[in-house]
Chains A and B, each alone.
Chain A
């Protein structure tokens, strides 16, 4: 095989002397420290400074809504009385209690927003099958519907565990229960859902979705017109 190759005419890489080594090592440390100041202090500080500008500041600090909660973070609300549940629910979360047999079902319930992540169960894992079955039964019972009608996003844990969005189908099937418990009327609730719905950006990017934290905040405002956004008091004003 080597006969096909030209013989090498020149000697290989020249040896590195000790002095060269020391010089490069010294330069390495100095370059690293200077770039640490530029890229690790000046750059983030500049971006932080720019993020204080009006219009960016709210985003930079977590998109916290005046009514409490963040429009970007989905944490499943828990009703004081499970028999009278007035809230729209987010998707299951791997950071909520998700052991088999959890009540109401694995992954349904408030997520722990101080951390994030998915279940990492394989798409065909038996554990995933069991969790999906429990969630299907719990959601069907809560909404009073046929278990086969529960859509996929309601049955699966999101990647972040903090997904604030649900699909249009899952929002629609929660409307009758929310309308009944809140006393707002289905048309009113459907209008609130429509307000919290986003289509694909430019008709192309992403997926159509309903933002649950915004929707629940709008529900609270609709129910307490005199003091919009007082989250803690809404439990008692909810039933009219």
Chain B
């Protein structure tokens, strides 16, 4: 009962900020004026904030910015011994540095290293924290560009990528993350520049507890749906998430922007019904998967009488299941319990959330553009059934628009199934698994699903330090991030050029409950036909035997 009320408290908080935050984000991305801080930045970097870019230039800007981010993050890790607060953690080896640079720039935050023994504080702050912000801002920028594609007509301009990225940071992410970081310290999250603190236990035995500048990274790690922990145990570590209040705040932060962006979308297209209908899809699937994961965890007795392996006492089963559902439904991937130790259907539920292609409610920006793409596919399918040209939000969808949408929809399954198939074909993969049989396959499938969806959570029993996993998971993260981004921006460019058409009799009415059902059905249908065979061999086989 308390567990249900806990979910209600979270939902009430999200509902309370949905309107103001959603409206604010719409204003941020339509405002004609710049803040003084922003003008300073534009002057420093030589960008004219009033100039607008074509889809191709917008895409080049996003790709160049991300590539520069990967290079800088790689170099910071390789040169960390020259930086302050590196302690004796040494140079990060090339495989880990490569994988980690891609992981944080793509908003995945998959971690193949133990943070508290591998990375110093300077790399954490100047490297990882920065990408926590800007990778989220990039996601938001791409989503906004797509929405502008629907809103504008007969133009080839989508806005200015630099302005969208900078404003996302200065007006949305930085203010919220700053307030949240201080609130987190108040709940007990650490914010220390020391390597650790020596303590003496009641038995007289000395130990050293690792410390880190945690709060400043913890807040943006959740708010930007990033998820990379400054400690190995991530948000299960008492220094990252010390009590039920910090846990509620962090769960709220990781959902708040993706949820509120549906309001931003509705405001920008001038019809709140359109935003609400997408929110309903997100909420419906999210609630259904929460019920699956929660029930599976609560009903599983395991060996100990309750499945508390890999869960923290202060969270118990309800708050662990709630977090697991929120972190895999968004593209966060932070964990407050270990998903590998979940029951077959509990862990399988987290996996399915990712295989829905991260749109319940998805990552910052990525969730909105992913669900808009599925909405286009749904409109197209409905058009096929009645034999007429599909339209969505006043735009006719031609062959090339639908092609772009299909590229987005098919990229992730191709990467997940291709990667998993390749890994399973290698004899060495069996040695990398902690668990054998169907659960071992789940570990591999989960890894590629997490990488290709830029989620970053793991069935962490899989040892991913080999060159094969570092490389293939790195490639899955890169392609899983940037192929869809390029296709979405191309789609936005095509849409912006099209004239608006007035709805005619027989035009599929979007923004209705029926449309929500259609979109949700498309999400489930695509995931089912692509992944059911693989799921039948992993969580389903494990849970039914």
Mark A residues whose CB is within 8 Å of B: 1-2, 4-8, 10, 12-16, 20-21, 24-32, 34-36, 38-41, 43-44, 46-48, 50-51, 55-56, 59-64, 67-70, 72-75, 77-80, 87, 91, 110, 112-125, 128-129, 132-133, 151-153, 155-167, 200-201, 203-207, 209, 216-217, 219-220, 231-232, 234-235
Contact = CB atoms under 8 A, between A and B. Distances in A.
Chain B interface bracket (under 10, 10 to 19, 20 to 34, 35 or more): 35 or more
A61 B211 contact: yes
Contacts of A21: 60, 64
B59 to A, nearest CB: 8
B423 interface: no
B126 A62 contact: no
B479 to A, nearest CB: 20
Complex A-B, nearest 9 residue pairs according to Cβ-Cβ distance, in ascending order: A206-B244, A159-B236, A120-B461, A207-B316, A116-B233, A40-B126, A205-B244, A28-B64, A30-B45
26 contacts: A1-B384, A8-B494, A13-B55, A24-B64, A28-B61, A35-B41, A38-B169, A47-B181, A47-B182, A56-B191, A61-B192, A63-B242, A73-B239, A112-B207, A113-B210, A118-B309, A121-B309, A122-B340, A123-B347, A129-B303, A133-B303, A156-B308, A159-B236, A206-B247, A207-B315, A207-B319
- Where chain A touches its partner, the secondary structure class is loop
Among A24, A47, A156, A163, the most chain B Cβ lie within 10 Å of the Cβ of A47
A1 to B, nearest CB: 7
B313 A167 contact: yes
B381 to A, nearest CB: 11
B528 to A, nearest CB: 22
Interface of B: 2, 5-6, 9, 41, 44-47, 54-57, 60-61, 64-65, 67-69, 72, 114, 116-117, 125-127, 129-130, 133-134, 156, 162, 165-166, 169, 174, 177-178, 181-182, 185-194, 196-197, 199-205, 207-211, 213, 215-217, 231-233, 236-239, 242-245, 247-248, 300, 302-316, 318-319, 335-338, 340-344, 346-347, 383-384, 387-390, 396-400, 402, 434-435, 439, 459-461, 490, 493-494, 497, 542
B239 A62 contact: yes
Contact of A47 (B55, B215, B248, B319): B215
Contacts of B204: 231-232, 234-235
Nearest to A49: B191
Given A13-B55, A31-B162, A77-B201, A5 B402 contact: yes
